[in-house]
Amino acid sequence: MQKSRTTSFGAVAIIGVGLLGASLGLALKNRRLASRVVGVGRRGSASLKTALKIGAIDTASTDMAAVSECDLIVLASNIGAFPDLMRQLARCMKPGAIVTDVGSTKEQVMQWAAELLPAGVFVGSHPMAGSERRGPEFARADLYQDAVCLVCAPRQGLNAKTLRRVESLWRAVGMRTLSVAARQHDEIVATISHVPHAVAAALVQLSCSVPGAEAAIAGGFVDTTRIASGDPTMWTDIFRTNGSAIDASLGVLIAMLEHYRRVVRRGAPEELQELFAEAKKRRDALVAKLRPKKGAKK
């Protein structure tokens, strides 16, 4: 895992200026990492106007031709729109331009890129940052600071310089980069991101099935189910493009829950104590690794 900074990335196009796209624009502009930032979105999009207002982009366009002079292009829309966007990019991007993304799944995205984009121009990226909120009005220039970006290079046809360029982009906005294969990426995020979303959604539905539960809801339930407030369209795209890994991870989780259920039915307090103590120990260790150490260089 590496982290560093670099200078300018030339003209950068961000296709989709929601939370992630607009936050990237703010980070690039605040750190003077781009000669200009072009925001591209749908006609009539309020997001483009907001991104301009908050200074996340220099210019806004609803025409994909706006990327024709850009050196770096970032796909930051919903994953479901990627195939059509890639087809358009293939027709209008200039030679030498690099394409990356911020999508939450990779094996399907890498396959689309191999089929639809010129060879050697795409590197998959997944910055592990964000929130259940969407839209440029929630964008922050420091959203990516000290977070991890998973980077997936295609198996063949990629220039090492192109990969380094994409890695340096994320390091320049404060991230640490970790190189993983696309399938490994999808297995990892199925476990730590996608299945937790399904669990949060199921807990909300469970609470609605119990009379009187709504009136008793407090902070613990709110914290546990926060991510269920994420955008349904975005999450549908994620589950649709990572179904195999999510299915496998759900299977493991269901087996674990069945074990908890058997322990509860046995009325075995010692076993429950052991399960909860082990989970606490592991979570505390994981969270401790996430916290920046005092005095540590960033």
pLDDT digits (tens, 9 = 90+) for 3-15: 444 458 999 999 9
pTM for the model stands at: 0.89
Q: How confident is the model at residue 291 (pLDDT cuts 50, 70, 90)?
A: low
pLDDT digits (tens, 9 = 90+) for 112-164: 999 999 999 999 999 999 877 889 999 999 999 999 999 999 887 788 899 99
**67 near 100, Cβ under 8 Å?**
no
> Burial of 263 by CB count in 10 Å (0-12 exposed, 13-18 middle, 19+ buried)?
middle
At 176, list the tokens.
Answer: 């640490």
- Which has more pLDDT, 216 or 4? 216
Q: What integer pLDDT is reported at residue 4 of this predicted model? A: 45
Residue 49 has φ and ψ, to the nearest 5°, of -65, -45
Q: What integer pLDDT is reported at residue 292 of this predicted model? A: 59
**249 near 199, Cβ under 8 Å?**
no
At 248, list the tokens.
Answer: 């496998």
Q: Is the pLDDT of residue 165 over 50?
A: yes
Closest CA to 106 of 155, 55, 173: 155
Distance in angstroms (rounded) separating the CA atoms of residues 235 and 50: 23
* Structural domains in the chain, sorted by start: 11-180 (3.40.50.720), 185-290 (1.10.3660.10)
